[in-house]
C-alpha cells in the first residue's frame, strides 16, 4: 500500500532539498538587490517588508513547483529556478521604475507599497509558472 510512496522518497528528498536550497539562494539574492535588509525590517515588525518578501518568495516558489510537476528532471527544475529568480529580480526592478520611492516606502512600513510589490511578484510568478512546458 505504501510502496509507491516509500519508493519515491529518495526522489522527493532530492527535489525538496534542492528546492529549499534554491529558495534560500533566491532570498539572499533578493536581499542583496534591495537597498534595505528585509529580514532586519521584519524582525523589527515591518509589515510592508514581510508582505514584500513573502510575495517574492511565493512568486519564485510557484514556477519551481510547476517545473517539478511537468519536467520530472532535477536539472530542468534548476534551470527553471534560474529563470524564475531572474524574472522575480526583474519584477523588483520594474516596481522601482513604476514607483521610484518604493525603496523608501518599504523601510517606512508603508503597507500599500508592500502589497503592490507582493502582488506584482505573485502575479508574475503565476504567469511564469503557467508558461513552463
Domain count, the chain: 1
pLDDT digits (tens, 9 = 90+) for 62-84: 999 999 999 889 999 999 999 99
Domain hosting 43: range is 3-130
> Can you give 67-125 as a three-state secondary structure string?
HHHHHCCHHHHHHHHHHHHHHHHHHHHHHHHHCCCHHHHCCCCCHHHHHHHHHHHHHHH
pTM of the model: 0.91
pLDDT digits (tens, 9 = 90+) for 1-36: 678 888 899 999 999 999 999 999 999 999 999 999
Amino acid at each position: 500500500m505504501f510502496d509507491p510512496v516509500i519508493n519515491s522518497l529518495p526522489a522527493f528528498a532530492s527535489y525538496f532539498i534542492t528546492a529549499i536550497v534554491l529558495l534560500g539562494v533566491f532570498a539572499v539574492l533578493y536581499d542583496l538587490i534591495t537597498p534595505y535588509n528585509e529580514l532586519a525590517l521584519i524582525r523589527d515588525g515591518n509589515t510592508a517588508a514581510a508582505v514584500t518578501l513573502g510575495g517574492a518568495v511565493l512568486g519564485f516558489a510557484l514556477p519551481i513547483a510547476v517545473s517539478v510537476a511537468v519536467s520530472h528532471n532535477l536539472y530542468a527544475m534548476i534551470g527553471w529556478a534560474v529563470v524564475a529568480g531572474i524574472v522575480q529580480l526583474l519584477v523588483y526592478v520594474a516596481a522601482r521604475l513604476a514607483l521610484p520611492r518604493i525603496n523608501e516606502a518599504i523601510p517606512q512600513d508603508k503597507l500599500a507599497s508592500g502589497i503592490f510589490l507582493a502582488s506584482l511578484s505573485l502575479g508574475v510568478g503565476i504567469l511564469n509558472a503557467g508558461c513552463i512546458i
